[in-house]
Amino acid sequence: MLEGPEVAAAARPPREIAPPLRGERWWTPNGPGNDSIHRRILIPLSGSLWAPERYAVDWIQLGEDGKNFAGDPKSNASYHAYGREILSVASGKVVAVKDGIPENVPNAKEMAVAIDLETIGGNYVIVDVGGGLFAFYAHLQPGKIRVKPGDAVAAGQVLGLLGNSGNSTEPHLHFHLIDRPDPLRGQGQPFALTAFTRIRGEVKLNAEQDPVGIAMTGKEAVRNQTYMNLELVNFE
């Protein structure tokens, strides 16, 4: 029998949102799930403990061969995800933008800038999507963000381009919903995607845990479901 103080469970149901990306073979090595690194991150700031990434997703894109890049692995442009349009998941108002952080060389030993509380998310956009929720889009390309604080945005509107800035080792989109307009000082909130196609099967990994192939067994059209760790999907 476990002893200790009672802790209330969050009663907020998952917020239904549109996908923040388009295209095929989006895979998440870090997504919602008990074995995800995001779920276990607790950040002590301002006298409180925050879990902003509890339901966060990191999306990378795979090619038909199941690999995440083609060409020079030290060039961001070689990665299939690089430069993809980042879409607003709902209508709302832009409340914060960070730009001007240079991009990293993929898998380099050192980041382009020192990583601290101001640079960890790289170039980012935060959108107030209503209901006390804020959508956070991180690691975008510098100079390619298309909105500014105060802008009203529609669902599906392009916010910027996928990049490799901040605490990032390769081009990817980090996305999470949070209950405060701050990337770190808030509690992550669950969400469900309105529509996607789940690719059944397995993403094959090498010894370094890099994707090297896809063993596909089928596809399934999905509506209004939560997105889980290691999902491989197509977005319309």
Per-10-residue mean pLDDT for the chain, 236 residues long?
53 92 96 77 88 95 97 98 99 99 98 97 99 99 99 99 98 98 95 97 92 95 92 95
Backbone Cα Rg of the chain: 17
pLDDT at 36: 74
Give ∠ CA 111-34-175 in degrees, rounded to 5. Answer: 45
Query: Rounded to 5 degrees, what are φ and ψ at 78?
Result: -75, -15
pLDDT at 7: 45
pLDDT at 227: 84
CA distance 234 to 231: 10
The structure's pTM equals 0.93
Give residue 107's region: left, alpha or beta (phi > 0; psi -120 to 50).
left
User: Coil, strand, or helix at residue 40?
Assistant: helix
Domains delineated in the chain: 15-235 (2.70.70.10)
pLDDT in tens, 83-92: 999 999 999 9
Q: Are 129 and 135 in contact (CB under 8 A)?
A: yes
CA distance 25 to 206: 18
